[in-house]
Structure 1
């Protein structure tokens, strides 16, 4: 990885401070979880049952949306999709067949022009729009039938941290709102454990700092997970890309076997994210294949071989914990390499795509 030793590592970086706020942010959102689910249940289908759920997002928000796709398909069986914004903005296809669908639009700022524009077009075609933002006064919040505020406080560092994990929790609340009211308690039991579990991780940075020392000389790496850990793998890779400028790529363990595993070797390690869910043993099984390629293997998760652990929840909520471990890795590598994580070169906090 390239270094920027002139700027010096910011041991008291804004990114680190905002990461440390996550237990409190998540606790506030967890306290509203049942209320959000109830609001979704009331607003999602004014004219009959929800036909399907579409997610509209970019960047880190897109990774949160992927968690929503998994959670909703697992819990409800409803068809879900991730909207390709260019189909509407570039190819000019009107979403006329989405009447009766729920469109979940995610934008931390609520100001990305294409997200606001597309949400309005879906609403005009009969979809119910639920916006998830950190700004209740944003254009996206005003355009939606239902707004879920993250209540995360100002986020100043370019790499998003507390708004990503709070988006993920908000998505789980939306998923709960699409189930029968009797099932919300099952979600709530997992949710109530998240703030304390995230605090446990943040109080234990040393294992990740040791991993950062071993990865500091590598310019390429893969981040791999499956099921609940797949969105976290994509988000971790994004954090490494934007914070360090490293060629990190996120994969599902299944897709990884279909060719990308070939990029790993002595100069390209793999970070495996594997928790306590039914898909995670498949990720752990990659260890032997990667070792045969002489690739260094790092594992974050709940298994006995994990280099850095997180508390086992056995549910989709573990995506939040895996994401925090990924944030720690990006932050620790930035500190080791003398890179300012708050202002990555050439990036802005709000990306105004159209």
Structure 2
């Protein structure tokens, strides 16, 4: 049974299912501006890049960092919004440095203040936004619309997937990565398959959980971070994301018999050591749930359906696409409302 199917589907479920078609439309709509942005950024030849974001968008920013450092070869730092919005301490070294500001709404006051100050210091502000008519887009030198359309569920799904897709497109054009460009062009069927993947077997292992670890590395570290955030938001489940390498430096000692561990296995060299790590968790009696290549995740108690024969970047995006179905089903099973988590708003007004 498709996790997203229901006689009365949630907004979260409905909107997540829209993402694959929206990504392909985005690729077409953004083709010229991405090519021009790539040319402009190559000519700029900056010493480093920076990201600016919060919440799910900050998880996407970590994806941008991974892409720029591995594809473009450009060191990328996270510029905390408060440096500009509270401290007014943005460095003059941001002159001619791309600042990738990521926001669904483009209206959060702290992001706007930080982007304005960075622009005043000479930064090249690149707005990656769902609303191309937003204040953030207005102050940017380059605007990259993610074309996700209206998203009414508080928990972001399609806008997040579309943002990852747009960042991958930008990195491919910036670096001249023909292989990644081709993978994006042919990603439609894989993302559709991922949207329909049934991860419901994980619900019984998580429905009574109070806390858990979520693992990723390389291209899937972002996926683990977003999944952990959604588990908190929509399922009232304390989930923490770690690199599958970093988790051995302390957090692993917290996991014992019966504790769930969800692993998003990368499809590139970052898979190194993952099987040994999962074996360690299984030996402790942890209930390991994993998606990835079968040889890497064999120690898992539950292997989630996933098409592992794909480009590592597309594979990572496909994993979060599938996860949203699980998050939706688990939220409902735990008596929560995934469309309207308590104490959260669609636009967060942080100063």
If the length of structure 2 is used for normalisation, what is the TM-score?
0.92
Q: In structure 1, what is the equivalent of residue 32 of structure 2?
A: 35
Q: In structure 1, what is the equivalent of residue 271 of structure 2?
A: 280
Runs of 4+, deviation exceeding 3 Å: 42-46
Contact map agreement 1:230 1:251 (CA 8 A) in 2: yes
Q: In structure 2, what is the equivalent of residue 112 of structure 1?
A: 108
User: Higher relative contact order at CA 8 Å, sep ≥6: structure 1 or structure 2?
Assistant: 1
Q: In structure 2, what is the equivalent of residue 57 of structure 1?
A: 53
Q: In structure 2, what is the equivalent of residue 331 of structure 1?
A: 328
- Does the alignment pair 1:254 with 2:254? no
1:43-83 CA-partner distances (Å, limit 9, x unpaired): 4377x422221010001111111111111111121111111
SS at match of 1:44: helix
2:180 to 168, 187, 196: 187
Q: In structure 1, what is the equivalent of residue 3 of structure 2?
A: none
State the distance in 2 between where 1:134 and 1:301 align: 30
1:16 to 13, 18, 28: 13
Q: In structure 2, what is the equivalent of residue 121 of structure 1?
A: 117
SS at match of 1:279: helix
1:319 Cα shift?
Answer: 2.0
State the distance in 2 between where 1:283 and 1:35 align: 39
- Does the alignment pair 1:265 with 2:262? no
Q: In structure 1, what is the equivalent of residue 129 of structure 2?
A: 133
1:98 Cα shift?
Answer: 0.9
Task: Compare 25-34 and 325-334 and name the one that shifted more.
Answer: 25-34
SS at match of 1:317: helix
Q: In structure 2, what is the equivalent of residue 220 of structure 1?
A: 211
- Does the alignment pair 1:173 with 2:169? yes
State the distance in 2 between where 1:241 and 1:10 align: 26
Gaps of 5+ in 1: 1-8
Contact map agreement 2:39 2:174 (CA 8 A) in 1: no
Task: Compare 273-282 and 93-102 and name the one that shifted more.
Answer: 273-282
State the distance in 2 between where 1:69 and 1:103 align: 11
Contact map agreement 1:274 1:281 (CA 8 A) in 2: no
1:265 Cα shift?
Answer: 1.6
1:326 Cα shift?
Answer: 2.3
SS at match of 2:343: coil
Q: In structure 1, what is the equivalent of residue 84 of structure 2?
A: 88
SS at match of 1:228: helix
Alignment length, in residue pairs?
340
State the distance in 2 between where 1:340 and 1:10 align: 16
If the length of structure 1 is used for normalisation, what is the TM-score?
0.91
2:280 to 265, 279, 289: 289
Q: In structure 1, what is the equivalent of residue 98 of structure 2?
A: 102
